[in-house]
Structure 1
Amino acid sequence: MKKILLLFLFCHVSLPVKHSLKYLLTSSTGISNLPEFMGVLLVDDIQVCYCDDKRIKVQHDEWKKLFDDNQLWKLVTDQCFSVLPKLYTTRLHRFMEHLNQTTGVHILQVIRGCELDETTGAISGFMNCGYDGDDLMSLDLKSQTWVALKPQAVTIKQEWDADKASNQERVEVITKIFPNWLKTYLSYENNSLLRTVLPSVSLLQKTPSSPVSCHATGFYPDRASMFWRKDGEEIHEDVDHGEILPNHDGTFQMRVDLNISSVKPEDWSRYDCVFHLSDVKKDVITKLDKAEIRNNEEFPAAVIGVVVGLLLLLVCITGLFIWKKKKNEGFKPANTSASSSSSHSSSAPD
């Protein structure tokens, strides 16, 4: 009962002080298995929507409902299928021209968005361009001009700064439209999609000689880390980290295993498992305690008795059915070849 009460205390909703809206836009050429354009919308670093020039994938039905309720879906589809692919493909090829490149693998990446300080209400925006993995330019919102971060970006900066109307429009979108969209997402009645929920953590072990798995499930979002400690210090030796996996209800699970073959029984109390969820100050800490480990040997005798009883009942019913069938049909001589043929036929794949 004490553990259940502690779990309820830990599973609280905690929103970060700062909120953000980000668009990650990528245009590429020379990569056959990659869409020429890809875009991702993030709110508080949680993926809301992905799109390329062929499809749109909304991460959750509630986000789709938000788009519909605020008449944003048409804008999203128009941007993803028409406006942005053409725009960023043109920009990528323009970058290549400036850098005297005609062929090869090249990637243009743009991140733009805004941040909202929940406490002060202050809003800040940003737009940065990267090319082939290097930071190339950033937009100065105050002067409405571009800053070249590499010498080869100077000519591009000059060209973009000459188009003052476009720079002014970019600043307008980043400082006014984006913050309004972010506030809409945050005030939406289903903004539980931005909640942070701590997990239920268990210690699992297949056999007494197997590694002990620290398993966390039911947490949200997937910005989490998990590790083993010894005497308060994170350890890496004899530790195996699992991936973060989705649950059917939209939450996530993960595990981290500890090989205890070299751990003396008297040293178990020196180890603990730590689960950390982004934007939540208090970690979930689970002591390595043999009494708390769940394994395959924990089936109660009563459960085993029920299973054995059911198996015996099944055997009796099957025997009775066979006895009645033979009584009605009479005993017939065994046909070894036919039986062998039938056996092979029934075991063959359909």
Structure 2
Amino acid sequence: MKLIIFFFCVRFVCSERHTFTIAYTEINGQTIAGFPEISAVTTLDGHQIDYYDSVTKKLIPKQDWMRYASEDIWEEYTEIRERVQQINKINITVLMQQLNQSHGVHVYQRMYGCGWDDETNESDGFDQHGYDGEDFITLDLKELRYISALPQGISTVMKWNNDTEQLELLKQYCDKDRIDWIKYFLTLGKEALTRRVSPSVSLIQKNPFSPVVCHATGFYPSAVNITWLRNGEDHDEDVELGEFLPNEDGTFQKTSTLNIYPDKWKKDQYVCVVEHEGMTIQKNLTEDEIKRNKTLSTWW
């Protein structure tokens, strides 16, 4: 079995680390009409930029600037999805045989891509394979070899590691060929991807007896740090950090919840601190700062 792996990176004008990731999901044994057996999503610094599945058989742009890609590039990019789709189809069949599974619904997932720092020019690649929700095979790029988290994957790892031609091809994509893709995506998405938008920060409480949520929204890029201070000191007890969520306009939102009752936070001075792109925004936890609105209940 030949495993063909494509690695792409994207560079921008500003100096920072960026990631470019392609994630495939294949579901074997599902019989729902119209539901794709295979789907692929490409993300750039956390933004989805395209989508492909086995039903539409088309690469669909998810950012306006992706629509300006040349026809040749678009065809090549689609062909890559089709080739990897066929490889993944073989992989899941082999895995089922190795695990003595002749039927049932099983999920094979693969995520690969790279991270790149445009100031230091340092880069790293990754290729991760999962099966039914568990890690299965992972690439160690420094050693240029695959390792398996499960005994059932040892035979596959040995085959892939013995394919020196394929490993060298993989290394070539990481070390050289990524530059063309870096320049191309920079040209396409330069204006949109280099923008900087500061967050809007609010303290929200569903009712007077609920935890207080520090809500940062409308910021870009996605890197943000939300912390709490108690009487001027870092406070991480009773704090629950939420996940990054995308907004419809391409910006992000994130929350940090302080799980204490009002009678406690009224005795001390609590401050929510949001750091983004060198800017720091602080919100003092007081009754005057808290927003309570019945319409906000749909946000939870």
Query: Which TM-score applies when normalising by structure 1?
Result: 0.62
The 5 Å alignment of 1:5-24 reads: 17-24=16-23
Question: CA–CA distance in 2 between the matches of 1:172 and 1:165?
Answer: 11
Higher mean alpha-carbon deviation, 129-138 vs 110-119, is at 129-138
Query: Which residue number corresponds to residue 135 of structure 1?
Result: 135
Query: Which residue number corresponds to residue 89 of structure 1?
Result: 89
Q: 1:106: Cα distance to partner?
A: 2.7
The 5 Å alignment of 1:120-269 reads: 120-139=120-139, 141=141, 145-186=145-186, 188=188, 190-203=190-203, 214-222=214-222, 224=224, 226=226, 228-231=228-231, 232=233, 233-236=235-238, 246-253=246-253, 261-263=262-264, 267=267
CA 1:274/1:162 → structure 2, altered by over 3 Å: closer, same or farther? same
- SS of match in other structure, 1:250: coil
Higher mean alpha-carbon deviation, 48-57 vs 83-92, is at 48-57
Deviations 1:248-306 (A, max 9, x none): 533234556667642575x36x01123355xx46543211245555678xxxxxxxxxx
CA 1:286/1:92 → structure 2, altered by over 3 Å: closer, same or farther? same
Deviations 1:136-187 (A, max 9, x none): 3344557755444433222213333454443433333333333432343345
8 Å CA contact 2:208, 2:262 repeated in 1: no
8 Å CA contact 1:185, 1:191 repeated in 2: no
Query: Which residue number corresponds to residue 51 of structure 1?
Result: 52
CA 1:138/1:183 → structure 2, altered by over 3 Å: closer, same or farther? farther
Structure index of larger Rg: 1
- SS of match in other structure, 1:73: helix
Question: CA–CA distance in 2 between the matches of 1:214 and 1:145?
Answer: 44
The 5 Å alignment of 1:300-339 reads: none
- SS of match in other structure, 2:238: coil
CA 1:26/1:167 → structure 2, altered by over 3 Å: closer, same or farther? farther
- SS of match in other structure, 1:72: helix
8 Å CA contact 1:230, 1:271 repeated in 2: yes
CA 1:172/1:236 → structure 2, altered by over 3 Å: closer, same or farther? same
CA 1:254/1:119 → structure 2, altered by over 3 Å: closer, same or farther? closer
8 Å CA contact 1:225, 1:275 repeated in 2: yes
Query: Which residue number corresponds to residue 29 of structure 1?
Result: 28
CA RMSD of aligned residues (A): 3.9
8 Å CA contact 2:26, 2:107 repeated in 1: yes
Instruction: Kindly tell me the number of residue pairs found equivalent between the two proteins.
Output: 274
8 Å CA contact 1:217, 1:254 repeated in 2: yes
Question: CA–CA distance in 1 between the matches of 2:249 and 2:207?
Answer: 30
CA 1:150/1:89 → structure 2, altered by over 3 Å: closer, same or farther? same
Question: CA–CA distance in 1 between the matches of 2:172 and 2:107?
Answer: 26
Structure with more of its chain in strand, by fraction: 2
8 Å CA contact 1:228, 1:274 repeated in 2: yes
Please, which of 33, 44, 67 is the counterpart of residue 64 of structure 1?
67
> 1 or 2 for the larger relative contact order (CA 8 Å, sep ≥6)?
2
- SS of match in other structure, 1:249: coil
Q: 1:45: Cα distance to partner?
A: 3.6
Could you tell me which runs of 5 or more consecutive residues in structure 2 were left unpaired when the two chains were aligned: 1-12, 294-300
Could you tell me which runs of 5 or more consecutive residues in structure 1 were left unpaired when the two chains were aligned: 1-13, 297-350
Deviations 1:293-322 (A, max 9, x none): 5678xxxxxxxxxxxxxxxxxxxxxxxxxx
8 Å CA contact 1:214, 1:256 repeated in 2: yes
Query: Which residue number corresponds to residue 40 of structure 1?
Result: 41
Determine what percentage of the aligned residue pairs are the same residue: 31
Query: Which residue number corresponds to residue 106 of structure 1?
Result: 106
Question: CA–CA distance in 2 between the matches of 1:211 and 1:144?
Answer: 48
Question: CA–CA distance in 1 between the matches of 2:121 and 2:98?
Answer: 40
Q: 1:61: Cα distance to partner?
A: 0.7
Question: CA–CA distance in 1 between the matches of 2:222 and 2:124?
Answer: 26
Question: CA–CA distance in 2 between the matches of 1:141 and 1:212?
Answer: 44
Q: 1:57: Cα distance to partner?
A: 4.3
Q: 1:224: Cα distance to partner?
A: 4.7
Q: 1:109: Cα distance to partner?
A: 2.4
- Corresponding letter in the other structure for 1:287: N
